[in-house]
A and B are shown apart, each in its own frame.
Chain A
Amino acid sequence: MPIPTKNANLSRRNFFLFAGSAAAALSGLGLVGCSGSGAASNGGSTGSADSSSAKKVSGSVTAVGSTALQPLVEAAAEKFMETNPDVQITVQGGGSGQGITQISQGAVQIGNSDVFAESKLSNPDDAKKLIDNKVAIVGMGPVVHPEVSIDDVTLDQLKGIFTGAITNWKEVGGQDLAITVINRASGSGTRATFEGAVLGGAKVPESFKPQEQDSSGTVAKMVAETPGSISYLAFSYFSDKLKALKVGGVEPKEETVETNDWTIWAYEHMYTSTSPDEATQAFIDYMLSDDVQGSLVEQTGYIPVTGMKVTRDASGNVTKK
């Protein structure tokens, strides 16, 4: 960092003026912590003021990606900026693919994703250049139109429905009503999670082309209005207008996800580069702290990472903690 040395012989007042304007002008370049080191090179005459300014982080952080994760990150960013007014955090959507593209290119500080970066990048080795911060768990489950008469399906029946082998509710013990499958956009994190847990590698035949929708809100609306329809949503989108099914007798809720009895869940990732700047690291630390994990995560409908009794890796292997 050339700036602190350049400023070493400026007066303290000038230095702060300069550092302030430089930080404002170059905030996008990760120019953080310069006020701390610069002040230190000024000599020991200003002890107490220095230590307080050294703790303060400043800079600007841009987080891009998953729309599913966006509400949580936005809420956390707002709280973080209240206690750290010198940090400017911008949270944008765009989809998990965008998040991973942008962080791999170094265009942003944080890339949000519903899926492991390995599954998105054309060269999976590129994922090694990123740090994977798992900040929350999202549980998902099958939802049906409220008039569908069954409450419980087996994993095999679900697989049959989503591969087109089962086309009427009476085949799984319900009324005589055609099943309308509403899928998520191919490549969406929710779909990848659901298919990973339910299809277990089974190939969907080319002849089976259910309709697709991209946004969770639209899917919730469609399932509530279309008789005989089935789709899948994150727990936070469950409502009285939909019926959430049990799978093999297991209820979709936080406790069953934590023990992996409910297998349809995914991590929410916040990828950073291997050497994140100070403000980015501080924000990630905050996301993993009790302030966020204990309250915000649950308020926004996610499950805290801290409560999980198992871990899962990018290839899907589950191990007990």
Chain B
Amino acid sequence: MPAMSKRGIERRGRLITGSCIALVVLLVVTLIFMVFSRGLDTFFKDGISPWSFLFGTTWNPHQTGDDGAALVGALPMIAGSFAVTLLSCLISLPFSLGSSIFVVEIAPGFGSRVFRPMIELLTGIPSVVFGVVGLTVVVPWIRSWAGGTGYGVLAGSIVLAFMILPTVTSLATDAIAAVPDAYRDGSYGLGCTRWQTIVHVVLPSALPGILTAVIMGMTRAFGEALAVQMVVGNAVQMPRGLFTPAATLTSVLTMGMGNEAMGTMYNDVLWSLALVLLFMSLVFILIVHLIGKKGAARHD
């Protein structure tokens, strides 16, 4: 009798967890299907060539060019997205790495009691708050020394750098903490200083984890919409410098989606932008997995 009920529990457990998985998989597959089916309409239904979409530099879907083709070049936005993403990582990486080293190697007590919760609090702040801070602090500050309007790639990158700081910092902290103490002991045993140990032993061993942290940060930066949209300027042109307004995939997507009726060409092209975003996330995730595999191989 007890054996039966145990098996019953097993079965029920499998059913419950299995249906959770099924639901999540269904949801993901439906979402991907939706983005694909709408995003591909641009090319199949509206007859726009993928080449002119991906590499065209003029974005003005309400008008047609001299050759009669719709002006739906997405390259300025793709370039803008990459520019703010890479730059925000460059800005936040030194701070993230420095604080991770500090809380793991130098002051672990302070790190776990004060710093960790504080940095995790940053994740809970809604992005519109970052946007407003960007609008009222970062943009006027840039304007004061760089001239122009202050809106642009740099303003977007600074705001994004703040937003991805918690992601990159906590993942980098985990990566550094995961380096076995035996490595450190060995290094100290050979007479290395703490600086030498950190630079030559700890950081190289933690490198795959740190790279993962950076990529995860990039994924977040690439997909963030609201805060960037408020400070980047939203002028759909190829980014020419740090201080001129640019646009990102997400900013154009959020601004346009509500204004364009479903089924129109403009709306289809917006879905194609979403498709590009989805594809980029996929690439980022693949890179993370690749690094994870390599890192695991190294530790063996």
Chain A residues in the interface with B (C-beta under 8 A): 67, 93-98, 100-101, 104-105, 120-122, 180, 185-189, 203, 206, 209-214, 218, 221-222, 225-226, 229
Contacts and interface: CB of A to CB of B under 8 A. Distances in A.
Given A186-B60, A206-B60, A210-B235, A226 B149 contact: yes
B268 to A, nearest CB: 10
B261 A212 contact: no
A67 B140 CA distance: 28
Contact of A209 (B143, B235, B260): B235
B234 interface: yes
A96 B140 CA distance: 32
B259 A209 contact: no
A214 B135 contact: no
Given A180-B149, A187-B266, A203 B62 contact: no
Interface of B: 58, 60-63, 71, 135-136, 139-140, 143, 149-151, 229-230, 233-237, 245, 247, 254-267
A209 B76 CA distance: 12
A187 B61 CA distance: 10
Contact of B149 (A93, A203, A221, A229): A229
Contacts of A122: 261, 263-265
Contacts of A93: 258
Contact of B261 (A97, A225, A229): A97
A211 B251 CA distance: 12
Contacts, number: 85
B230 to A, nearest CB: 6
Nearest to B71: A206
A291 B225 CA distance: 41
Nearest to A186: B62
A203 B256 CA distance: 20
A165 B151 CA distance: 22
B53 to A, nearest CB: 17
Nearest to A189: B259
**What is the predominant secondary structure among interface residues of chain B facing chain A?**
mixed
B267 A211 contact: no
A161 to B, nearest CB: 15
Given A214-B229, A225-B140, A94 B258 contact: yes
Contact of A100 (B61, B236, B261): B261
Given A100-B261, A206-B60, A212-B234, A222 B135 contact: yes
A121 B255 contact: no
Given A121-B261, A218-B230, A211 B256 contact: no
Given A122-B265, A209-B235, A226-B149, A96 B255 contact: no
Contacts of B247: 212
Contacts of A96: 258-259
A167 to B, nearest CB: 13
Nearest to A222: B135
Q: Which 4 residue pairs of A and B lie closest in terms of their CB atoms, listed nearest first?
A: A95-B258, A187-B259, A211-B233, A185-B255
Given A120-B264, A121-B261, 11 more contacts: A97-B258, A97-B262, A180-B149, A187-B256, A187-B259, A203-B63, A206-B58, A209-B235, A211-B149, A211-B151, A211-B245
A229 B139 CA distance: 14
Contact of A211 (B234, B262, B265): B234
Contacts of B143: 226
Contacts of B63: 203
Contacts of B262: 97, 101, 105
Contacts of B58: 206
Nearest to A213: B234
Nearest to A114: B259
Contacts of A214: 229, 254-255
A169 B192 CA distance: 65
Contacts of B263: 101, 122
A186 B135 contact: no
Given A122-B265, A212-B255, A214-B254, A221 B234 contact: no
A154 B136 CA distance: 32
18 contacts: A94-B258, A100-B261, A120-B260, A122-B261, A122-B263, A186-B61, A187-B62, A187-B259, A187-B260, A188-B259, A189-B259, A203-B63, A206-B58, A209-B235, A212-B255, A213-B234, A226-B143, A226-B150
A97 B235 contact: no
B234 A120 contact: no
B122 to A, nearest CB: 23
A185 B259 contact: yes
A67 B258 CA distance: 10
Contacts of A210: 235
Contacts of A180: 149
B267 A97 contact: yes
Contact of B259 (A95, A203, A213, A222): A95
Contacts of B265: 122
Given A122-B264, A186-B60, A203-B63, A95 B135 contact: no
B265 to A, nearest CB: 7
Contacts of B135: 218, 221-222, 225
A97 B260 contact: yes
A126 to B, nearest CB: 10
Contact of B256 (A185, A218, A222): A185
